[in-house]
Structure 1
Amino acid sequence: MKILKSVLILAMAIVNFNVMSQETSVPNLLRDQLNVTDNHVYVIERELPGAGNLSPEELEAISQTSCGVLEKMGEDNIKWLHSYVTGDKIYCVYRAKNEELVKEHAAKGGFPANSVAEVKSIIDPSTANLN
């Protein structure tokens, strides 16, 4: 469990760094993902007590496990976009053909998936400027 938490946090940091270096906002990237045909975007809530205290090594191991499972499942079917690590939870964002694939990934990786919700739209401060 600690390994999973560490990997997810490390991956999140890498994705956020890459996003910032490209001067593209996360909402804009996710909006693009919502427009991908035959795929949906999901937010997964994972209850992991102490997630915010995981070491970089633990996060790396968790990320490696997740990526290994995803590779076997096929990137055309499911892809991990990024995650947010909080004190006792990790919120992951995935693109997948269906919710069952998200749950299958969690089961194969040994990760909790306490809640899986499909993203229908994305708003941010730019949404206030419809012109």
Structure 2
Amino acid sequence: MKVTRKSDYGLRALFTLAKFYGEQPVSIGQIAAEHRIPDPFLEKIMQELREAGLIEATHGRSGGYLLKRRPSQISIWEVVQALDGPIALVTCLDPNLKCAIEDGCPTSSLWMLINERFEHCLKELTLDDLLKAEQAHIS
């Protein structure tokens, strides 16, 4: 599994919501313009993030989207899981597929370890870390 454009766009959208956390809702148009994401695709992504319980929508004249939790409480792993599903760096680790040479494969344990470490890294990183990285980049 490679991290798809959907997860990349989803992280960009959540980055914007994290910037405005505790303030006003952010419109889909504002997010789309800031990150050059096509509106229909962004709407689908936001719906999936809403269904995953990561964001909420507010309606009305000043409506938009808000994070449901603090940026420090939303991991990158949660976002990728919500938009792309299980992480499998190689085909043999994909839970939806059966590896043809599973028994006796010399590299499966290595890939399993790498996959676990990648998952751990994504679970440790949060939207707050993304904000801090951007601030460090700007400074």
Fold in common (TM above 0.5): no
The higher relative CO (CA closer than 8 Å, separation ≥ 6) is in 1
More strand by share: 1
* Structure with greater proportional helix content: 2
Q: Which has the larger radius of gyration?
A: 2
What's the TM-score, normalizing by structure 2? 0.29
